[in-house]
Amino acid sequence: MWFIAIGCLFVALKLADLTMVAQWSWLWILLPFGLAAVWWFIADQTGLTKQREAEREARRVADRRERHLENMGLSFKRRHGSATGKAARPPADKH
């Protein structure tokens, strides 16, 4: 995503004739778009994209499940004070 943002910035600066970017060759201006394409190809081939998508989906399902349990009054956290089921203890005296 950063490659696309940088590429768009370079194109805008080139077309507006601003800063030193206006003097660069179009090859350098369009290079970030090529790098983004290479990155997406590598991420797809190594399974990184699918892995991130699966992690996002698992988080979404867990959040939804917790929200539904809280709405039904069955939240383990709410009843027992923590996700581990141990009641919260007051700090121990140092005497």
State the pLDDT at residue 86. 53
Domains held by the chain: number:
2
Q: Tell me the residue range of the domain where 63 lies.
A: 47-81
**Is there a single domain that holds both residue 37 and residue 59?**
no
Encode pLDDT of 5-51 as tens digits: 999 999 999 999 988 989 999 999 999 999 999 999 998 888 877 88
pLDDT at residue 32, rounded to an integer:
96
Percent of the residues in the chain that have a pLDDT greater than 70, as a whole number: 78
pTM: 0.54
Of 12-26, 37-51, 58-72, 80-94, which gets the smallest average pLDDT? 80-94
Give the whole-angstrom CA distance, residue 49 versus residue 39.
11
Residue 32 domain-assigned?
A: yes
How far apart, in whole angstroms, are the C-alpha atoms of residue 81 and residue 66?
15
Are residue 9 and residue 37 in the same domain, yes or no?
yes
Same domain, 10 and 42: yes
- Residues 51 and 36 grouped into a single domain: no
Same structural domain, 74 and 37:
no
24 shares its domain with 51? no
